[in-house]
């Protein structure tokens, strides 16, 4: 699905109809699903506008394998030349950034930048056994070697980036045929691109970049918001905040604030989860925990439903996201405090529920049993009269006649009639 940024619409509108241009998309962050959405969208916009080329100005520490592969598929299938430019000075193309750079039709770097460290552990997360690590490494080596050979780049260095986590400077990368150009500025890059032949799926084209309009795209408000909250920890905490907000609202109908905050938090969490590698089973278990928490409000289970909800939350939290690099996975340092808080909260609810069940009745008709009052209309022998209890007049009967003004105690409630007896002095 294409994501069209408002700023993109404004900038494209500024280019005269039919005029060619050079598109520039800038990404300076981890390679996440948000990055994939933005960069794939940039390639699609360049194709729709029949741009002469798309320059991706990249600075990344790496990121998720799934997001990286989505970007590379778009690069390999692009009908416009895609140029990856590691920029500005001091930037890097590490881990997933190596793959994206080498998959470009033209790979360029700014002096004082570096490229390398493409170990699969950085993209797939730690915790793999030796057999799995070997499989993942071999897969990554084959993938990057294939890309390097397709782009006429050095496959030996492709393997070294993955197997040995090698890292080299821009100048070394140029000498070893890892990249095509080392240029200091975007303007210099555009001049160097002029006249270069590029092989595309539709055939070989010759770039004519001199004097063309440069249209720059940067992440818009939607991508900035998504990038802010599309972090596993942030999305998870928003989800928990939403759960507790709804729980408090159902426990105290009419409070409004908890329900409002909870609804907003859940909507933001769902917005973030759409951009993260979520496991359906983990999400289903967390949804089950929500149902169990809500049932705890309405069903007297003495905390058993709440405890089951906590268990579901533990397993759901642990398997919510696919394994990823540090910073892109949900760690136990987040799960344990969250579950501990949930357990303590549900335990407190259970204690309060049990205490409430044992507490004497303080409201309603049953609460009148044992209360004192006085006879307002004399109660005849075997007959009925009126008494006043808590300032209210009640029909009353007693086992013996009682004169008006006699102090009485309520023994029982029979419909709307109270059964009373006199309070004896001493």
What's 96's domain CATH number?
Answer: 3.90.226.10
Structural domain contains residue 256: yes
- Does 91 share its domain with 195? yes
Return the CATH number at 383. Answer: 2.40.50.140
Domain limits for position 416: 365-422
- Does 352 share its domain with 370? no
Structural domain contains residue 310: yes
Structural domain contains residue 108: yes
- Does 177 share its domain with 300? no
Strand pairing class (213-217; 203-206): unpaired
Most confident region among 135-139, 176-180, 312-316 by mean pLDDT: 176-180
Measured distance CA(242)–CA(238) in Å, rounded: 6
Measured distance CA(45)–CA(9) in Å, rounded: 10
Report the sign of the C-alpha dihedral through residues 408, 413, 416, 419, in that order.
negative
pTM above 0.85, yes or no: no
pLDDT at residue number 208: 94
Measured distance CA(156)–CA(154) in Å, rounded: 6
Report the sign of the C-alpha dihedral through residues 402, 405, 406, 412, in that order.
positive
Strand pairing class (407-414; 372-377): antiparallel
Most confident region among 116-130, 255-269, 363-377 by mean pLDDT: 255-269
Percent residues over pLDDT 90 in the chain: 36
- Does 29 share its domain with 135? yes
Q: 13-17, 250-254, 317-321: which range is least confident on average?
A: 13-17
- Does 155 share its domain with 280? no
Q: 25-39, 149-163, 185-199, 320-334: which range is least confident on average?
A: 320-334
Is the predicted pLDDT of residue 2 greater than 50, yes or no?
no
Where a domain ends, among 159, 194, 219? Answer: 219
Helix (H) or strand (E) holding 420: strand 417-422
- Does 116 share its domain with 161? yes
Is the predicted pLDDT of residue 144 greater than 80, yes or no?
yes
Q: How many domains does the chain have?
A: 3
- Does 47 share its domain with 152? yes
Where a domain ends, among 329, 358, 387? Answer: 358
Q: Could you tell me which residue, 168 or 350, shows the higher pLDDT? A: 168
What DSSP assignment string belongs to 105-130?
SEEEE-TT-EEE---HHHHH-S---H
Is the predicted pLDDT of residue 110 greater than 90, yes or no?
yes
Structural domain contains residue 211: yes
- The residue written with tokens 């004896």 in the block is 424
- Does 142 share its domain with 213? yes
pLDDT at residue number 9: 35
What DSSP assignment string belongs to 21-66?
EEEEEEE-S-B-HHHHHHHHHHHHHHHHTT-SEEEEEE-B--B-HH
pLDDT tens, residue by residue, 382-393: 678 899 987 788
pLDDT at residue number 352: 65
Structural domain contains residue 1: no
b/e code 38-51 from CB counts within 10 Å (16+ = b)? bbbbbbbbbbebeb
- The residue written with tokens 């007297």 in the block is 300
Name the packing angle between helices 304-318 and 280-298 (round to 10°).
160
For the segment 357-367, the average pLDDT, to the nearest whole number, is 58
Q: 38-52, 80-94, 153-167, 352-366: which range is least confident on average?
A: 352-366
- Does 249 share its domain with 138? no
pLDDT tens, residue by residue, 121-131: 655 444 555 77
Contact 372, 408 (CB under 8 A): yes
Where a domain ends, among 358, 377, 400? Answer: 358
Is the predicted pLDDT of residue 27 greater than 50, yes or no?
yes
- Report residue 95 CA to chain centroid gap: 23
- In terms of Cα–Cα distance, which of 301, 312, 276 is closest to 354? 301
Residue 334 makes CB contacts below 8 A (sequence gap 6+) with 233, 236, 237
Enter the tokens of residue 183: 């240029």
- Does 390 share its domain with 346? no
Q: In Å, how far are 253, 296, 360 from 357, measured between CA atoms?
A: 21, 15, 8
- Does 85 share its domain with 213? yes
Cis peptide before 277 (omega within 30 of 0): no
Q: Where are the extended beta strands (E) located within 201-252?
A: 203-206, 213-217
Structural domain contains residue 224: no
- Does 56 share its domain with 160? yes
pLDDT tens, residue by residue, 301-322: 766 887 888 888 888 888 887 7
For the segment 47-74, the average pLDDT, to the nearest whole number, is 93
Residue 297 makes CB contacts below 8 A (sequence gap 6+) with 247, 250, 251
Enter the tokens of residue 361: 């009745």
Measured distance CA(287)–CA(243) in Å, rounded: 9
> To 5 degrees, how large is the angle CA 158–CA 165–CA 75?
40
pLDDT tens, residue by residue, 232-245: 888 888 888 888 88
Structural domain contains residue 225: no
């Amino acid at each position: 699905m294409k994501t069209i940024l408002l700023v993109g619409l404004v900038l494209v509108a500024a280019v005269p109809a039919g005029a060619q241009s050079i598109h520039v998309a800038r990404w300076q962050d981890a390679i996440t699903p948000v990055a994939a959405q933005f960069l794939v969208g940039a390639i699609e916009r360049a194709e729709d506008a029949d741009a002469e080329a798309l320059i991706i100005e990249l600075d990344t520490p790496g990121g998720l394998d799934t997001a990286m592969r989505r970007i590379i598929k778009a690069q390999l299938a692009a009908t416009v030349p895609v140029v990856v430019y590691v920029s500005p000075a001091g930037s890097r193309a590490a881990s997933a950034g190596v793959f994206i750079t080498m998959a470009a039709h033209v790979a360029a770097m700014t002096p004082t930048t570096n490229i390398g460290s493409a170990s699969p552990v950085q993209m797939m997360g730690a915790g793999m056994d030796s057999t799995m690590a070997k499989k993942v490494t071999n897969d990554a080596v084959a993938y990057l070697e294939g890309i390097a050979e397709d782009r006429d780049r050095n496959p030996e260095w492709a393997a070294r980036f993955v197997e040995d986590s090698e890292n080299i400077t821009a100048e070394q990368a140029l000498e070893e045929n890892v990249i095509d150009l080392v240029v200091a500025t975007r303007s210099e890059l555009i001049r160097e691109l002029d006249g270069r032949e590029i092989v595309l799926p539709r055939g070989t084209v010759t770039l004519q970049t001199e004097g063309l309009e440069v249209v720059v795209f940067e992440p818009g408000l939607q991508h900035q918001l998504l990038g802010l909250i599309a972090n596993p920890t942030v999305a998870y905490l928003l989800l928990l905040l939403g759960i507790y907000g709804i729980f408090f609202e159902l426990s105290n109908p009419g409070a409004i604030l908890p329900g409002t905050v909870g609804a907003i938090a859940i909507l933001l969490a769902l917005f973030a989860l759409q951009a993260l590698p979520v496991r359906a089973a983990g999400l289903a278990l967390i949804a089950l925990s929500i149902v169990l928490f809500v049932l705890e409000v309405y069903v007297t289970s003495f905390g058993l439903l709440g405890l089951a909800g906590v268990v579901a939350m533990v397993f759901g939290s642990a398997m919510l996201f696919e394994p990823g690099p540090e910073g892109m996975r949900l760690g136990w340092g987040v799960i344990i405090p969250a579950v501990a808080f949930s357990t303590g909260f549900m335990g407190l609810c259970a204690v309060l529920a049990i205490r409430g069940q044992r507490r004497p009745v303080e409201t309603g008709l049953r609460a009148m049993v044992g209360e004192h009052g006085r006879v307002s209309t004399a109660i005849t022998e075997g007959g009925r009269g009126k008494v006043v209890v808590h300032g209210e007049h009640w029909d009353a009967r007693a086992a013996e006649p009682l004169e008006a003004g006699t102090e009485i105690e309520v023994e029982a409630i029979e419909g709307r009639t109270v059964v009373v007896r006199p309070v004896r002095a001493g």
